[in-house]
Amino acid sequence: MAMRIVVLGGGTAGTTVANRLARALRPEIRRGAVEVTVVTDRDRHWYQPGYLFVVFNERPLEDFVRPERALLLPDVGMVVDAITRIDLERKQLISPHRHYPYDVLVIATGSYPDFQSVPGLAEVTYNFYTPEGAERLRDRLTTWTGGRIMIVQDVPHKCPAAPVEVTLMLDDYFRRRRLRDRVEIVYTYPIGRVHAAEPIADWAKQQFDARGIRYETFFNMEAVDPKRQVVLTMDGGEHPFDLLISIPAHKGAGVILNSGIGDESGFIPTDRHTLKMIGQDDVYVLGDATNLPISKAGSTAHYQAEVLVKNLVDRVRGLPETHLYNGKVACFLENSLGDASFITFDYDRPPKPAATSELLHWFKGMYNDLYWLTARGLM
Amino acid sequence: MAQATKTIDARGSFCPGPLMELIKATRAAEVGDVLEVLSNDAGSAKDIPEWAKKMGHTVLYVEEAEGYWKIAIKKER
Ligand SMILES: Cc1cc2nc3c(=O)[nH]c(=O)nc-3n(C[C@H](O)[C@H](O)[C@H](O)COP(=O)(O)OP(=O)(O)OC[C@H]3O[C@@H](n4cnc5c(N)ncnc54)[C@H](O)[C@@H]3O)c2cc1C
């Protein structure tokens, strides 16, 4: 019987792993010795970093979505079904319709902003972390005539740089529309500087100061009063806004919480080097779904996929799994609608932003399209 | 020394970093819990006590181990 490798989740991580596996294990798959199947709950695939460009009306949302089946190689099986429970003991995925047995499971179920995590937040907030949110915020900005925009955030959230980026892009957007003097932009952050990573904080603070962007540190949201349009913070402060953009604390997928295999927020305890679920030899985890203390980013998923696939190929071929993930992450940082910076770091090396340039912005723009090649496992 | 209710191994974490891991854990913890963070980011020895004081939590210890720091706080509110 074929060895069944089941990938749960058809996002960045799951799609990349499945395609790379299909390419590397082509002889085994064609011979019927291995099956690679993606089980995912939607038939479309979103490129999430694209939402930022939707907000500023630079690109339409349709540019950032593809049918998942078109991204997966023909050798990869695909099932669209919402899994409600992962049964590690019987080695199967369970949905209301069916059971899916596996020999090896790769969990890539991502993470989600929890707008319910702060009382009152969901009623008034705008966001750019969901496709609908990005379009709604875009439409609000196009009719905006002025006032105070406040950016609030909580941890953990994917793409730790995105709140800084949206702030800098808002500044540029309103300058280009000749409305900047009517808009007050207030960026907030939970600790004593504007970003947790010191080099990013230094870079962002310099930009904020030079561009008249206000910021408040040690800003920890407790509740939002939707009627009075104020954010209440843990230190007893009240902060009025006209437009609130939030990036709330994220959670792992519902199925992880439901299966009791994650921490209190639904992130799965994962070995930082082998990417195996702690205590499980047949279960691997990658992308936003892990509990690793590193950035939840598409690039993280990409570098993890490279390591994980090498080990799975060795496993299939009866060789020892010797490849270790070194914590590598890489991110572009948009500085405006026309220039960008870039950082890379791993478990041993802290980030250091590159000088901003138009070229880096141009490259990020290209990556919006190159992404589809990454997902296909070609890059 | 107080026994940690939970230890967060945030070594190798630069972005978002050990303090952010601690904030996440603090939210999920009960009042009175002791949370210990392991960090190899020198900044943590300053950032974590600064944040904890501001938020009204007690800093129990900031210790240097072999190549990393062990910092514990008690959740007070
Ligand atoms: C606005 C924004 C900007 C960003 N910018 C960047 C950036 O510049 N650079 C960068 O590297 N990253 C960026 N990211 C982060 C990046 O998009 C994510 O980190 C990445 O998509 C994580 O991949 P993943 O596969 O782990 O999760 P996802 O891509 O979210 O995929 C999860 C998949 O699991 C499926 N799933 C979940 N539950 C179930 C279930 N029960 N049954 C079946 N299927 C299920 C979902 O349908 C989905 O397909 C950004 C994100 C946002 C929102």
Q: ∠ CA(A109), CA(A110), CA(A111), 5° rounding?
A: 130
Task: Tell me how far apart the alpha carbons of residues A139 and A133 are, in angstroms, rounded to a whole number.
Answer: 10
Residue B1 lies in a domain: no
Residue ranges of chain A whose pLDDT lies below 70: none
Amino acid A286: pLDDT: 98
ipTM (interface pTM)? 0.88
Q: Order of strands, edge to edge, in the sheet holding A230-233?
A: A221-225, A230-233, A238-240
Residue A187's DSSP bridge partners are A151, A215
Give the residue-averaged pLDDT of B61-77.
Answer: 94
Q: Which residue from A40, A44, A48, A364 has its CB within 8 A of the most atoms of ligand 1, so it is best to mutate?
A: A48
Task: Tell me how far apart the alpha carbons of residues A146 and A167 are, in angstroms, rounded to a whole number.
Answer: 15
Does residue B23 belong to the interface with chain A, where contact is any CB pair within 8 Å? yes
Best mutation target, A191, A193, A263, to test chain B (most B CBs within 10 A): A191
Q: Which of A62, A110, A153, A362 is nearest to A252 (CA)?
A: A110
Contact yes or no for B19 and A249 at CB 8 A: no
CA distance B25 to chain A (A): 9
Architecture of the structural domain at A114-249? 3-Layer(bba) Sandwich (3.50)
Secondary structure letter of residue B14 according to DSSP: -
Orientation angle between helical segments A298-316 and A12-24, nearest 10 degrees: 30
Residue B29 lies in a domain: yes
Q: Where do you find CATH 3.50.50.60 in chain A?
A: 3-110+253-328, 114-249
CA distance A28 to chain B (A): 37
Task: Give residue B41's domain range.
Answer: 6-74
Superfamily name with CATH number, domain A3-110+253-328: FAD/NAD(P)-binding domain (3.50.50.60)
In this structure, are residues B61 and B1 in contact, taking their beta carbons and an 8 Å threshold? yes
Task: Tell me how far apart the alpha carbons of residues A41 and A264 are, in angstroms, rounded to a whole number.
Answer: 23
pLDDT category at B1 given cuts 50, 70, 90 is low
Cis peptide before A293 (omega within 30 of 0): no
Give the residue-averaged pLDDT of B33-55.
Answer: 93
Secondary structure letter of residue B11 according to DSSP: T
Best mutation target, A155, A165, A250, A273, to test chain B (most B CBs within 10 A): A155
Does residue B37 belong to the interface with chain A, where contact is any CB pair within 8 Å? no
Cis peptide before A248 (omega within 30 of 0): no
Could you tell me the pTM of the whole model? Answer: 0.96
Task: Tell me how far apart the alpha carbons of residues A168 and A184 are, in angstroms, rounded to a whole number.
Answer: 12
Amino acid A144: pLDDT: 93
